[in-house]
Amino acid sequence: MSMTATEKLFTIFDQSSTILQEELACTYLEALVETGDNLFQEKLLQDSISEITKKRLQKEYAEVNLASYSSEEIRRAYQLAILKGMKGTTQTNHQMTPDSIGLLIGYLTQKFLGNQERLSILDPAVGTGNLLATVVNMYEQVSDVQSFGVEVDEILIRLAYIGANLQRQQTEFFHQDGLASLLIDPVDLVICDLPVGYYPNDAQAAQYELNATEGHAYAHHLFIEQGLRHTKPGGYLFFLIPNGLFETEEAEKLQRFLKDTAYIQAVVQLPFSIFKNNQAAKSIFILQKKSPEIKAPNEVLLASLPSLTKKEAVDKILWKMEKWFKDNKNEFK
Ligand code: SAM
């Protein structure tokens, strides 16, 4: 069987990362950053490596012409290498957003935002950049796309930065706490696979309405507030949330805050089958920031996606969504 373009490129990322990992005595993901940078800059950037290693790497790189790959092929190959590097070592909260979810979020953003001539997108907890890159690639036909990613973890943001370079995306990255002040103007679209748990920086949390009354605040609540601060009036926010978001003692405060600042558009529950267990299951939570010109949707779209292999059931949900868009389309630009 012949290899697809994505498999071929993955093999090159994988083999060259393994070579560099051994030579530099670093992790696979650090080596992936190095090899990605070599490929992007079309030169060997590691001074300290032996002549034999140089030759082995040059042989790998000679096999690849990045210009012949689409951005999506590059993203998928890079994503496979990241998945390999994360296997068994990465805690759940740092994991990359899976493709099935990224593609669905991208599809939904297009349904909600409609045709745009220009678009600005922010992911305030961008991780490896996979979710943001998936969505940005879906807007290839929009000539003016500005994208921004914020991430606190150094290796993840380096992966995101190199990934964006390889995919020819102009994303601006900020290596910092996504809940500290951001030097980013409000955007049309915020997307975020929320880090779930307590936020340890109480002084920073005190800057938020959604700070906890006692003890540490929930990072995922603060990220929703931060997202709304950085969205233009009328702009949209797509969050991947834990299903139990509204079941904690802080939920009432969150609900009140959302009522004042945004219109809840939709809650799309993802199939349990794509998560390790039912407790880990998530939903896509879609908000529109309030503005004097827009009204609330007639009704909130509530959908629960069946396993994507059940075609009939999926068609039924898609039909329900289409109908919802029709009934509520006056709300959209
Ligand atoms: N969408 C990402 C991707 O495709 O790789 C995955 C996001 S992951 C579920 C959540 C991310 O939030 C992690 O990368 C974690 O390092 C980051 N994070 C957690 N707390 C943060 C903070 N205070 N500021 C910025 N990033 C943070």
Q: Please indicate whether residue 97, judged by its CB atom, sits closer than 6 Å to ligand 1.
A: yes
pLDDT beyond 50 at 213: yes
Among 29, 148, 156, 239, residue to substitute to test ligand 1 (most atoms within 8 Å of Cβ): 156
User: Which atom of ligand 1 is found nearest the CA of 150?
Assistant: 25
- Kindly report the protein residue whose alpha carbon is nearest to atom 7 of ligand 1: 127
How high is the pLDDT of residue 1? 57
Q: How confident is the model at residue 280 (pLDDT cuts 50, 70, 90)?
A: confident
Question: Are 132 and 191 in contact, with CB atoms under 8 Å apart?
Answer: yes
Q: Please indicate whether residue 128, judged by its CB atom, sits closer than 6 Å to ligand 1.
A: yes
Q: Please indicate whether residue 179, judged by its CB atom, sits closer than 6 Å to ligand 1.
A: yes
Distance 225 CA to ligand 1 centre (A): 16
For residues 280 and 71, the model is more confident at 71
Task: State pLDDT tens for residues 222-241.
Answer: 999 999 999 999 999 999 99
Q: Please indicate whether residue 242, judged by its CB atom, sits closer than 6 Å to ligand 1.
A: no
Side chain identity, residue 26: C
pLDDT beyond 80 at 154: yes
Task: State pLDDT tens for residues 167-210.
Answer: 999 999 999 999 999 999 999 999 999 999 999 999 999 999 99
Distance 177 CA to ligand 1 centre (A): 10
User: Which atom of ligand 1 is found nearest the CA of 160?
Assistant: 5
Question: Are 79 and 71 in contact, with CB atoms under 8 Å apart?
Answer: no
Tally Cβ neighbours within 10 Å of residue 194.
23
Q: How confident is the model at residue 90 (pLDDT cuts 50, 70, 90)?
A: low
- Report the mean per-residue pLDDT for the chain: 94
pLDDT beyond 90 at 53: yes
Q: How confident is the model at residue 329 (pLDDT cuts 50, 70, 90)?
A: low
Question: Are 275 and 243 in contact, with CB atoms under 8 Å apart?
Answer: no
How high is the pLDDT of residue 333? 45
Distance CA(160)–CA(320), nearest Å, equals 35
Distance 157 CA to ligand 1 centre (A): 9
List the structure tokens of 131.
Answer: 């979710």
Q: Please indicate whether residue 205, judged by its CB atom, sits closer than 6 Å to ligand 1.
A: no
